[in-house]
């Protein structure tokens, strides 16, 4: 069976590598997605384990379309009662890249109307739409004059691991945090420090990566595939049990800090709820005074404020200049990775990056840059 795993822009190659490890075949890298082939067990595995996928889609229907009426007619033609019943709730997500359609929301409405009308005409009853917690979720992608409709086997996005506490103004997407960790090359054997950790997403994702905690381990929401007629509960439980027994967390190597006590409390609360306090230590401290003397040299991953609402004023530029000074004075021998959408402010760090990866944090184009803090001169 063919599947498509969606992801964030820039994470496609790492996701392809991950799927290959799961046993996927005929892997093809797409834009913000990876197509692959595998059986039902692989689909369950990808949903439960993938750190880099947002959704696992199963294509079910492809057709040509060039106007609203043809879209309605083609969707109505498909036998939707074979997929789900009028007792189920459903939702439609659409993405369009076509000269024939202007609004993805309108496309979703037309597809919904065709499905509902078919149920009503066949059965005299219709399923209800539930955008937030639907039993069945469908994904429509229109590229030029070709429409592909897929079953969204995940339901809730896979980046919603289940550990997130509300209250942080700009939480980092968990899939992006997992991508940053993999791009950094951190292997779990050396310390990792996030000195501006906010609610602790990077540190928690690092603990899950290092300890082989499946990304669905803390998930509270059902996967959509659990509502399918061919759902094999015993197969999924065997997969879950197999990987749950491989969890193996090691002594503390993860450190974080933040100047904001509310964020520190939030991070500490979540870490305690997940029973990870033995492995992650978060304290209230600004970066400049973080007590790193007792930590062996390792990797820094930090997502500082971007100051996008400040129009590059002196305060944000000075802030990034201070980051550069702190790295030079206090973190000799460390590898420091910094994520920011403020390219002007990044230059104020006054260090030459040895690597620079272009990524997106939501709609913001960012650079994820490595600054190698050599002890002595680089030559030595």
Q: What are the residue ranges spanned by the domains of the chain? A: 2-152, 174-213+225-372
CB atoms within 10 A of CB 250: 13
Structure tokens at 6: 């969606």
pLDDT (0 to 100) of residue 379:
43
pLDDT tens digits, one per residue of 2-21? 999 999 999 999 999 999 99
Q: Tell me what the pLDDT averaged over the chain comes to.
A: 93
In the block, residue with structure tokens 């209800």: 128
CB atoms within 10 A of CB 279: 20
pLDDT band, very low/low/confident/very high, at 377 (cuts 50, 70, 90) = very low
Give yes or no for residue 342 having a pLDDT over 50: yes
pLDDT band, very low/low/confident/very high, at 250 (cuts 50, 70, 90) = confident
**Could you give the strand order of the β-sheet that contains 254-258, starting from the edge strand earlier in sequence?**
280-284, 254-258, 192-194, 299-302, 335-340, 364-372, 355-361
Give yes or no for residue 356 having a pLDDT over 80: yes
pLDDT (0 to 100) of residue 380:
40
Please check whether residue 19 is in contact with residue 46, taking contact to mean a CB–CB distance below 8 angstroms: yes
Sign of CA pseudo-dihedral 13, 190, 348, 318: positive
Give yes or no for residue 310 having a pLDDT over 70: no
Considering only 146-160, 229-243, 265-279, 307-321, which range has the smallest mean pLDDT?
307-321
Give yes or no for residue 166 having a pLDDT over 80: no
255: left (phi over 0), alpha (psi -120 to 50) or beta: beta
Domain 2-152 has CATH 3.30.2130.30: yes
Please check whether residue 338 is in contact with residue 347, taking contact to mean a CB–CB distance below 8 angstroms: no
Q: Is 14 exposed, middle or buried (0-12, 13-18, 19+ CB in 10 A)?
A: middle
User: What one-character DSSP code corresponds to residue 263?
Assistant: H
Considering only 248-252, 262-266, 336-340, 347-351, which range has the smallest mean pLDDT?
248-252
Give yes or no for residue 374 having a pLDDT over 90: no
Concatenate the DSSP letters of all residues of 95-129 into one string. EEE-TT---HHHHHHHHHHHHHHHHHHHHS--PEE
Give yes or no for residue 301 having a pLDDT over 70: yes
Please check whether residue 127 is in contact with residue 90, taking contact to mean a CB–CB distance below 8 angstroms: yes
pLDDT band, very low/low/confident/very high, at 378 (cuts 50, 70, 90) = very low
Concatenate the DSSP letters of all residues of 131-181 into one string. SSS-SEEEEEEEETTEEEEEEESSSS-TT--S-PPTT-SSPPPHHHHHHHH
| Alpha-carbon span 44 to 215, nearest angstrom | 12
The runs of H, that is alpha helices, within 286-339 are 314-330
Give yes or no for residue 169 having a pLDDT over 70: no
Give yes or no for residue 224 having a pLDDT over 60: yes
- pTM of the model as a whole: 0.92
Residues of 329-340 as b/e, b for ≥16 C-beta within 10 angstroms?
eebeebbbbbbb
Which CATH number among 3.20.20.70, 3.40.190.10, 3.40.50.150, 3.40.50.720 corresponds to the domain 174-213+225-372? 3.40.50.150
Averaged over 183-198, what is the pLDDT?
A: 95
| Alpha-carbon span 211 to 213, nearest angstrom | 5
pLDDT band, very low/low/confident/very high, at 136 (cuts 50, 70, 90) = very high
Averaged over 341-361, what is the pLDDT?
A: 95
Give yes or no for residue 308 having a pLDDT over 50: yes
pLDDT tens digits, one per residue of 29-76? 999 999 999 999 999 999 999 999 999 999 999 999 999 999 999 999
pLDDT (0 to 100) of residue 294:
85
Give yes or no for residue 170 having a pLDDT over 80: no
| Alpha-carbon span 255 to 292, nearest angstrom | 9
pLDDT (0 to 100) of residue 225:
98
């Amino acid at each position: 069976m063919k599947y498509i795993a969606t992801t964030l822009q820039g994470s496609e190659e790492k996701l392809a590598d991950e799927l290959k490890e799961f046993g996927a075949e005929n892997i093809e890298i797409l834009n913000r997605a990876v197509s692959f082939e595998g059986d039902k067990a692989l689909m369950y595995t990808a949903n439960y384990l993938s750190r880099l996928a947002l959704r696992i889609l199963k294509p079910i229907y492809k057709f040509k379309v060039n106007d609203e009426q043809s879209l309605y007619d083609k969707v109505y033609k498909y036998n939707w009662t074979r997929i789900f019943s009028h007792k189920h709730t459903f939702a439609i997500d659409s993405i369009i890249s076509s000269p024939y359609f202007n609004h993805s929301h309108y496309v979703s409405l037309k597809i919904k109307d065709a499905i509902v009308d078919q149920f009503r005409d066949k059965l005299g009853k219709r399923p209800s739409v539930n955008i937030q917690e639907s039993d069945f979720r469908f994904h429509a992608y229109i590229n030029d004059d070709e429409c592909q409709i897929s079953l969204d086997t995940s339901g809730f996005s896979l980046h919603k691991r289940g550990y997130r506490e509300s209250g942080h103004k700009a939480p980092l997407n968990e899939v992006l945090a997992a991508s940053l960790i993999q791009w950094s090359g951190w292997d779990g054997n050396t310390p990792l420090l996030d000195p501006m950790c906010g609610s602790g997403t990077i540190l928690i994702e690092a603990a899950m990566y290092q300890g082989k905690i499946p990304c669905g381990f803390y998930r509270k929401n059902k996967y959509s595939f659990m509502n399918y007629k061919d759902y094999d509960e015993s197969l999924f439980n065997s997969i879950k049990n197999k990987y749950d027994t491989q969890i193996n967390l090691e002594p503390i190597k993860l450190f974080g800090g933040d100047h904001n006590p509310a964020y520190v409390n939030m991070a500490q609360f979540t870490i305690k709820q997940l029973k990870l306090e033995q492995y992650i230590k978060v304290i209230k401290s600004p970066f400049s005074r973080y007590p790193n003397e007792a930590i062996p040299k390792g990797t820094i991953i930090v997502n500082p404020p971007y100051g996008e609402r400040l129009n590059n004023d002196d305060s944000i530029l000075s802030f990034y200049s201070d980051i550069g000074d702190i790295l030079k004075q206090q973190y000799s021998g460390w590898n420091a990775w910094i994520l920011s959408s403020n390219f002007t402010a990044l230059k104020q760090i006054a260090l030459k990056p040895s690597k620079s990866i272009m990524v997106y944090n939501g709609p913001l184009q960012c650079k994820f840059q490595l600054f190698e803090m050599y002890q002595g001169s680089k030559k030595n």
